[in-house]
Amino acid sequence: MIARESLTLAGVELLPLIFADCIVAITRRSGDLLDDGDEIAVVQGPTRSLLTGERTALNSVQRLSGVATLAAAYVRAVKGTQCRILDTRKTTPGLRRLEKMAAAAGGVVNHRMGLFDAVLIKNNHIIAAGGVRAALERTRNAGVPVEIEVRTREELEEALACGATRLLLDNLSPAEAKEWIAYIKGRATVELSGGITLENARAYAETGADFISSGAITHSARAVDINFRIE
């Protein structure tokens, strides 16, 4: 198995499972940076087994390495700032754990795995609960980290008055985000989301935000080019 372009590798842990009746020697690890022509793994076994597992192996490693490669690009974009990149739950159904592993291989911080390990109060939840205060009150005894999304200055002020310690600021421009973060003045950690791309990630990171989240890392990553050659 050989890389056919520059990439950040992920998913090689699956190869021994895919080629269960073969001898698998993994040459490079998830998270490694590869260039065109770099060897990823050598699989020895019956031709039928190699051909049976070929497409599953390529689909898996190409897709997951694509996620890791895009994740690494976001991390490079904000290098030198205090901001860290988060992934999201915008993953392929059934593949969340694998795609989260791939994102981590690219250097981003895994955010929530599901609805069980943290509470993120978003706009729809605020409306359903009857407001920012009501939503926060209903999560007081959640036993997990609680973060709340605020979209207006009024919601921001109410969230801070209610003791919110984690804030998600959504769909702000970098200039607006910088102004809001200056107002928050360290009273809560700040995550920015919405409209953040690889091209503008650094501008958002330089606002003083603690985190930037991007669903694109998992939902829009391009599969990278990898070959599997039989000799």
d(CA 79, CA 5): 23
d(CA 73, CA 105): 12
Q: pLDDT-derived band of residue 4, with 50, 70 and 90 as boundaries? A: very high
In sequence order, what DSSP letters do the residues of 185-215 get, joined into one string?
TTSSEEEEESS--TTTHHHHHTTT-SEEE-T
The predicted structure's pLDDT at residue 164: 96
Average pLDDT, the chain: 96
Q: Mean pLDDT throughout 17-29?
A: 98
User: Considering 28, 89, 90, 138, which one is annotated as catalytic?
Assistant: 90
pLDDT digits (tens, 9 = 90+) for 39-67: 999 999 999 999 999 999 999 999 999 99
- Token pair 């981590």 in the structure block, residue: 104
Q: Mean pLDDT throughout 20-34?
A: 98
Topology match between the domains 2-75+221-227 and 81-219? no
Q: Class of 81-219 per CATH?
A: alpha beta
Per the annotation, the verdict on 122 as an active-site residue is yes
CA within 13 Å, CB half, 85? 30
Which token pair is 67? 């996620």
pLDDT digits (tens, 9 = 90+) for 143-159: 999 999 999 999 999 99
Per the annotation, the verdict on 96 as an active-site residue is no
* Helices of type H across the chain: 15-18, 47-77, 96-105, 123-129, 132-137, 153-161, 174-184, 201-205, 216-219
d(CA 164, CA 103): 28
CA within 13 Å, CB half, 8? 23
**Domain regions of the chain by residue span:** 2-75+221-227, 81-219
User: Considering 38, 54, 170, 225, which one is annotated as catalytic?
Assistant: 170
Per the annotation, the verdict on 157 as an active-site residue is no
The predicted structure's pLDDT at residue 121: 96
The predicted structure's pLDDT at residue 145: 94
The predicted structure's pLDDT at residue 167: 98
User: Considering 55, 79, 153, 222, which one is annotated as catalytic?
Assistant: 55
Burial class of residue 60 in the structure, from the number of CB atoms within 10 Å of its CB (0-12 exposed, 13-18 middle, 19+ buried): buried
The answer to whether the CB of 33 falls within 8 A of the CB of 73 is: no
User: Considering 96, 122, 138, 178, which one is annotated as catalytic?
Assistant: 122
User: Considering 99, 147, 149, 155, which one is annotated as catalytic?
Assistant: 149
- Give the residue among 186, 188, 133, 183 at the shortest CA–CA distance from 165: 188
The predicted structure's pLDDT at residue 138: 94
The predicted structure's pLDDT at residue 148: 97
Q: Which CATH superfamily is domain 2-75+221-227 in?
A: Quinolinate phosphoribosyl transferase, N-terminal domain (3.90.1170.20)
